[in-house]
A and B are shown apart, each in its own frame.
Chain A
Amino acid sequence: MSAYRRLWRTRIGRLTLVIGAVALALFALTGLVSAQVALPEAVTEQGDSIRTLFFVVLAIGVIVFVIVEAMILWVVFRYKRQSDDELPTQVAHNTTAEILWTGIPLVIVVVLFFVSLFVLQDIQAAADEDEEFTIVDVQGRQWAWAFNYGVPLGTELAESISNSPHDTEIHLEDPSLVVPFMTIKLGIEHMRVVARTGDVVTVDRAVNGTVPIRHAAGSAVMRVFNGTDTVAEGRLQAADNTPIVTVPTGQMIRFNIASADVLHAFYTPQFLTKLDAVPGRVQTLWVRITDAGDFISQCAEFCGRDHARMIYTVRALPQDEYDAWFEEKAGSAPEPVEGDFGGEEEVEQEEGAIGNPANGQNLFFSLGCNVCHGDQGEGLVGPTIAMTIVPLDRVIEQYREPLEAMTEFPPDQVSDEEIADIYAWLQSVPRPPEADIIPSKLAELVEAGG
């Protein structure tokens, strides 16, 4: 104590002590808050195992911390130089002590290793062979999430559901500004997320005030473009339209996680786990949700500008509510999936429900479509057809009885399925950043309700 009394006598010493007192108060506050801020309660079976393991590690960690910290404080406060010529013991080693403090930590970490390994195997287990489970395809993209349901591997479902794109309004900075109507290049499938935040938007006719649009997700900036200038810019709010993935409780759920562009990570804090979405791979995450509820989640791997806006909600519903919800969305009850598809196998990336884009790309070039429409369908002599708003059936009609100056393609040259493949590819190609939109009469007709 006398050291501190001495310290109090100097100005700097007093400052030091005051700062110390304030710091203690702040730490006390931190402690109070930490009761609120801690590892979330797990809502999955797997998360429960992880949480238990966490507390095992925490217990060991706290014990080690208290013992070692006490040792440090003890030697610091107990052993002080008493006189200038004092010479302490020169003991330089002690084999027994050194073996002990190598051996005891070794035993601790070996035990922790096996416990962790056991938990790891437990949480990575797939559904049992004869167990029903739900498959959800997850695709991360800058900066949104797309979710597909009930698509067993290798099966094509007439309709998939996604909550990802949302109808929303863009609030223009200047309401008096006359802004032409915007056509956003969206796919016909309502689950497809085609327009990206920041995308250039073509402008056709004038309206005032707010403009209804569909957008990817998040609260990123959306620019309105009339061909030459940015005429408006708006910030889309995240809160109202985070994508929601609805899943049943009780059943095993297999999330097939993929990415359309860069790295993302599927992270729901209440699951106590995460898995990266790596472009070029499809990865499997198995969970069994035990508690119903809405769980706010977000991308956990840095993915560019609006990484912080890549928020989504996992909505877990009891099985009967889930079935009702699914039936309402899809028009039929979910097909139960059975059997083990094997968590380890590499899976072809799901590209929506229709068509095979890889085949489509080959056909696009072998049929010579690129000669008029450009290598990415961005438009050259012919109109822009990448990410078109024209529905597939109208596109097939166009192949058979072309509007405007296009070559006719009879069914023996290119089948309906092959057109669907090309269409699927065209809906997924990125547009070259500098390309202008070449208008298409067909698209205008479709838009006008023809």
Chain B
Amino acid sequence: MATLAGAQTSTYAGATVWRVILEWLTTVDHKKIGIMYLWTAGAFGLVGMAFSLVMRTELAETGTIISAETYNSIFTMHGSVMIFLFLLPIGAAFMNYSMPLQIGALDMAFPRINALSFWIFLFGGVLLTLSFAAEGGTASAGWTAYPPVTLDTGNNAEPPGAGMDMWLVGVILLGQASIFGSVNFLVTIFKMRAPGMTMWRLPLFTWTTLVTGLLILLSTPVLAAALVLGFIDRNGAGGAFFDPAAGGQPLLWQNLFWFYSHPAVYIMILPAMGIVSDVFGVFTRRPVFGYRSMVLALIAIGLLGFIVWAHHMFTTGGVFLPFFMGATFLIAVPTGVKMFNWITTMWRGSNIFPTAMLFSVGFLMLFLIGGITGVFHAAVPVDFALHDTYFVVGHFHYTMSIAATFGFLAGCYYWFPKMFGKFMNEGLGKLHFWLVFIGVNLIFFTQLLLGLDGMPRRINDYVDNPGWELMNMLTTIGAFVSAAGMMVFLYNVFYSLKWGERAGSDPWEGTTLEWATTSPPPAHNFDSLPEIRSERPLFDLRFGERLQDDPHYHVNNGHNGNGSGSGAKAPTASAREEG
């Protein structure tokens, strides 16, 4: 009997494993898809980080360890993987997971397209990374892939091989996944909000999802066009689009590419801004200051993002400089508004600093440096000196890479209890924060200085100017310190999944609707919803009564928080579906 029972159990366990795998492979649940995005993007992020360590090892001292070809492939894939396979999809991960919960929806508007979008992304990502196996190696022209160095023009000494085509096709697929995703986000926000969830009551993370979705939808097709033209140029047209010898125009690529890739910077940073806005709102117990101006600033950043693409091309000699300089300067204004609003949210707040909050404060500090160094690049004559040096490397890492990653890490610590029902370990979290915060500043502040001194980017070896070796060594040390921090994080994830402290449905005293359901939420998300009268329905529920005499405390429909929600139940999810 015992043997039989054992056998049955193991068969049953085996079947369960297969059932679980099948369930994840076939799922259309936005939460499961979000978590798959998270794991996949996280894995690609580690790959991208490994590439950066190879680069930093090579550059620690003068002289070379790996060949120039290898180095060029590595920096190309570092950029490509980090942007297309880490920063963009990890934003999608949180938007997938949290946005439908925040607006009290059952799921995304098009769950199957949501799944399709994930699987296309995964396929494109695998294709992109597999290009290492292609004859002639992977793409090696930088993630910007400026022609004609990408083309076999007859003049190009070492035209890239099939890896370049795999790169182009991979990015086309990733773009397609983005477009599907963005349509889904937009329709979900416009059509699936719970009763009472007006546009002016959307949580700020949902607002960033909305603006991000619009940016993706409007810009990605332009990138797709450029990529298709590039593919045709390499496979048939003989350079007719981008090779001047064949009648093409190399700057055309740059215009098309940056018309996508500048908004893409905001596609990466806006979700992170949304996360830290929510985090500040929760851990200060204050409303995010200037909610409406936050939203307007967000929209302004999105709009301006479409008219500044040529500031990446100031030194090409093919740009009308005054216009793009002016537009670029203007972006400082709405980003400044957001910065002051965040700080004022903490001002006179009842602040606590769990790891999610630390990363959000870290985000402010890094983004501040990123924003200020951006002004140097906006001033065209100064950009003439600093363009394509390590100053620009430092600048864009401070903004869209490191600040964005800090926002996403804040999101990990903040939503982990919701996703898995357990807290991440706070001690390990704080160690993680300090290692990474110190590491990245060491990397990128020294890079700013190296850039000032004229060290060009994308070189595998450098002239031994005074101080350069020391600065490069410091940068390399910083890279390894932050990598160590990320290892602590990785350990924390697995540690907390197994041994993490159990978290209830609302472990942070959250303000938005994702905290109004169990952790993890059921497949249909909500059994019931609280009344929604402001952008903080759960805060109203918790403190509304205590604050009813506070003249500064508003809910948007003119009621004070008096009795809001305590007994009243919103229509259940199933009721809404029938309605």
Interface residues of A (CB under 8 A from B): 10, 12-13, 15-16, 19-20, 23, 26-27, 29-30, 33-34, 36-40, 47, 49-51, 53-54, 57-58, 60-61, 64-65, 68-69, 71-72, 75-76, 79-82, 86-94, 97-98, 101-102, 105-106, 108-110, 112-113, 116-117, 119-120, 123, 142-143, 196-198, 260-263, 265, 267, 269, 272-276, 278-281, 283, 296, 298-309, 311, 430
Instruction: Return the contact of A29 from the options B332, B389, B427, B474 (Cβ within 8 A).
Output: B474
Cα separation A308 to B68 with both chains bound (whole Å): 8
Instruction: Return the contact of B453 from the options A40, A54, A120, A123 (Cβ within 8 A).
Output: A40
* Chain B proximity of A325: nearest CB distance (Å): 25
Instruction: Return the contact of A278 from the options B251, B339, B450 (Cβ within 8 A).
Output: B251
Cα separation A38 to B352 with both chains bound (whole Å): 39
Q: Which residues of the partner chain A approach B428 to less than 8 Å between Cβ atoms? A: 12
Q: Given the known A-B contacts A65-B369, A260-B155, are A27 and B442 also in contact in the complex, defined by CB atoms under 8 Å?
A: yes
Cα separation A267 to B459 with both chains bound (whole Å): 14
Provide the B56-79 mask, 1 if CB < 8 A to any CB of A, else 0. 000000000000110010000000
Pick 10 A–B contacts, CB within 8 A, sort by A.
A61-B376, A98-B293, A198-B157, A273-B381, A273-B385, A278-B244, A279-B243, A279-B245, A303-B149, A309-B68
Cα separation A144 to B49 with both chains bound (whole Å): 33
Looking across the interface, which residue of chain A has its beta carbon closest to that of B425? A12
Asked if B250 contacts A279 (CB within 8 A), the reply is yes
Asked if B427 contacts A10 (CB within 8 A), the reply is yes
Q: Which residues 279-332 of B have a CB within 8 angstroms of A?
A: 284-287, 289-293, 315-318, 321-322, 325-326, 329-330, 332
Provide the B74-103 mask, 1 if CB < 8 A to any CB of A, else 0. 000000000000000000000000000000
Asked if A38 contacts B463 (CB within 8 A), the reply is no
Interface size on B, residues (CB 8 A): 115
Asked if B250 contacts A302 (CB within 8 A), the reply is no
Q: Given the known A-B contacts A40-B454, A262-B156, A307-B459, are A33 and B470 also in contact in the complex, defined by CB atoms under 8 Å?
A: yes
* Chain B proximity of A402: nearest CB distance (Å): 29
Cα separation A90 to B344 with both chains bound (whole Å): 12
Indicate whether B191 reaches chain A with its CB closer than 8 angstroms: no
Cα separation A280 to B477 with both chains bound (whole Å): 43
Asked if B325 contacts A54 (CB within 8 A), the reply is no
Asked if A89 contacts B379 (CB within 8 A), the reply is no
Q: Which 3 residue pairs across A and B have the least CB separation, nearest first? A: A280-B244, A269-B454, A308-B459
* Chain A proximity of B435: nearest CB distance (Å): 6
Indicate whether B349 reaches chain A with its CB closer than 8 angstroms: yes
Q: Given the known A-B contacts A72-B364, A262-B156, A274-B315, are A120 and B471 also in contact in the complex, defined by CB atoms under 8 Å?
A: no
Asked if A26 contacts B442 (CB within 8 A), the reply is yes
* Chain A proximity of B430: nearest CB distance (Å): 6
One of B38-46, B110-118, B544-552 contacting the partner? B544-552
Cα separation A287 to B25 with both chains bound (whole Å): 62
* Chain A proximity of B533: nearest CB distance (Å): 14
Asked if B434 contacts A16 (CB within 8 A), the reply is yes
Q: Which residues of the partner chain A approach B387 to less than 8 Å between Cβ atoms? A: 274, 300
Asked if B547 contacts A90 (CB within 8 A), the reply is yes
Looking at B286, B385, B458, B477, the one whose CB has the most chain A CB atoms below 10 A away is: B385
Looking across the interface, which residue of chain B has its beta carbon closest to that of A101? B340
Interface residues of B (CB under 8 A from A): 68-69, 72, 140-142, 146-149, 153-158, 243-245, 249-251, 284-287, 289-293, 315-318, 321-322, 325-326, 329-330, 332-333, 336-337, 339-341, 343-344, 346-353, 361, 364-365, 368-369, 372-373, 375-376, 378-382, 384-385, 387-389, 427-428, 430-431, 434-435, 438, 441-442, 445-446, 449-450, 452-454, 456, 458-463, 466-468, 470-471, 474, 477, 481, 543, 546-547, 550, 552-554
Cα separation A309 to B64 with both chains bound (whole Å): 12
Q: 13 more A-B contacts (CB under 8 A) besides A37-B452, A109-B375? A: A33-B467, A39-B452, A51-B385, A72-B361, A72-B365, A76-B351, A90-B553, A93-B289, A198-B157, A262-B155, A269-B454, A281-B318, A305-B69
* Chain A proximity of B346: nearest CB distance (Å): 4
Asked if B250 contacts A36 (CB within 8 A), the reply is no
Q: Which residues of the partner chain A approach B149 to less than 8 Å between Cβ atoms? A: 262-263, 302-304
Q: Which residues of the partner chain B approach A299 to less than 8 Å between Cβ atoms? A: 456
Q: Given the known A-B contacts A19-B438, A88-B350, A296-B463, are A142 and B384 also in contact in the complex, defined by CB atoms under 8 Å?
A: no
Asked if B318 contacts A196 (CB within 8 A), the reply is no
Cα separation A263 to B148 with both chains bound (whole Å): 7
Looking across the interface, which residue of chain A has its beta carbon closest to that of B462? A308
Instruction: Return the contact of B458 from the options A27, A110, A280, A302 (Cβ within 8 A).
Output: A302
Asked if A64 contacts B372 (CB within 8 A), the reply is yes
Looking across the interface, which residue of chain B has its beta carbon closest to that of A104? B336
Cα separation A267 to B389 with both chains bound (whole Å): 10
Instruction: Return the contact of A90 from the options B286, B321, B322, B375 (Cβ within 8 A).
Output: B286
Looking across the interface, which residue of chain B has its beta carbon closest to that of A349? B244
Q: Which residues of the partner chain A approach B284 to less than 8 Å between Cβ atoms? A: 79, 88
Q: Given the known A-B contacts A20-B434, A88-B285, A280-B249, are A98 and B146 also in contact in the complex, defined by CB atoms under 8 Å?
A: no
* Chain A proximity of B111: nearest CB distance (Å): 36
Q: Which residues of the partner chain A approach B452 to less than 8 Å between Cβ atoms? A: 37-39
Looking across the interface, which residue of chain B has its beta carbon closest to that of A264? B149
Looking across the interface, which residue of chain B has its beta carbon closest to that of A107? B333
Looking across the interface, which residue of chain A has its beta carbon closest to that of B67? A305
Looking across the interface, which residue of chain B has its beta carbon closest to that of A303? B149
Cα separation A102 to B336 with both chains bound (whole Å): 7
Q: Which residues of the partner chain A approach B153 to less than 8 Å between Cβ atoms? A: 261-262
* Chain B proximity of A449: nearest CB distance (Å): 32
Asked if A278 contacts B318 (CB within 8 A), the reply is yes
Q: Which residues of the partner chain B approach A109 to less than 8 Å between Cβ atoms? A: 329-330, 332-333, 375, 378
Q: Given the known A-B contacts A39-B453, A68-B339, are A76 and B361 also in contact in the complex, defined by CB atoms under 8 Å?
A: yes
Asked if A269 contacts B442 (CB within 8 A), the reply is no
* Chain B proximity of A200: nearest CB distance (Å): 12
* Chain A proximity of B307: nearest CB distance (Å): 15
* Chain A proximity of B11: nearest CB distance (Å): 44
Q: Which residues of the partner chain A approach B340 to less than 8 Å between Cβ atoms? A: 97-98, 101
Q: Given the known A-B contacts A105-B336, A109-B329, A283-B317, are A19 and B434 also in contact in the complex, defined by CB atoms under 8 Å?
A: yes
Instruction: Return the contact of A81 from the options B341, B352, B470 (Cβ within 8 A).
Output: B352
Asked if A272 contacts B385 (CB within 8 A), the reply is yes
Instruction: Return the contact of B388 from the options A49, A108, A265 (Cβ within 8 A).
Output: A265
Cα separation A375 to B316 with both chains bound (whole Å): 33
Q: Which residues of the partner chain A approach B474 to less than 8 Å between Cβ atoms? A: 26, 29-30, 33
Q: Which residues of the partner chain B approach A274 to less than 8 Å between Cβ atoms? A: 315, 384-385, 387-388
* Chain B proximity of A298: nearest CB distance (Å): 6
Q: Given the known A-B contacts A109-B333, A261-B153, are A267 and B456 also in contact in the complex, defined by CB atoms under 8 Å?
A: yes
Looking across the interface, which residue of chain B has its beta carbon closest to that of A297? B454
* Chain B proximity of A294: nearest CB distance (Å): 13
Q: Given the known A-B contacts A36-B467, A53-B379, are A101 and B337 also in contact in the complex, defined by CB atoms under 8 Å?
A: yes
Asked if A262 contacts B466 (CB within 8 A), the reply is no
Asked if B461 contacts A75 (CB within 8 A), the reply is no
Q: Which residues of the partner chain A approach B347 to less than 8 Å between Cβ atoms? A: 75, 79
